[in-house]
Structure 1
Amino acid sequence: MKKHKRDTSSRAFDRGYRAGVSGRSVDFCPHAQEEQRQHWVSGWREGRVDQWDGLTGISGVHKMRVS
């Protein structure tokens, strides 16, 4: 059975979330296409909010997706 790739918008959001939680700047967004960039930045924003709320490390595991 073939493995289906996740859609690129979901992957961009997840990577942006991880960048936000780790405290990286929004300037490090790797996407040039507007749609993927929007998903990355919205994931980054959610990650930053979770970092500010203290959901890093073990307390933030429930927010991460299992791929």
Structure 2
Amino acid sequence: MPAWIVIFSQLGRVGAIAGSALFLLFPSATRRMLVPCLVSYATGTLLAAAFLGMIPAGRSSSSATPSTTSSTAW
């Protein structure tokens, strides 16, 4: 496994932990206000990643021509 993958994975892990720790420093009222927004953001991100991940499979199994598919998708 290339070293840059490991390095950036560790940076992402440290960033996530730092963000969570920073969130705990906010007052309780602020956290209660932010949690629904952050849950909605996380849900939207996961749905977008899932649907964007399905596009290549849909395009490869489609019988449409590439020009029709690209104009329809974008």
- So what's the TM-score if we normalise by structure 2? 0.33
Larger radius of gyration: 2
- So what's the TM-score if we normalise by structure 1? 0.35
Larger RCO, structure (CA 8 Å, separation 6 or more):
1
Structure with the largest fraction of helix: 2
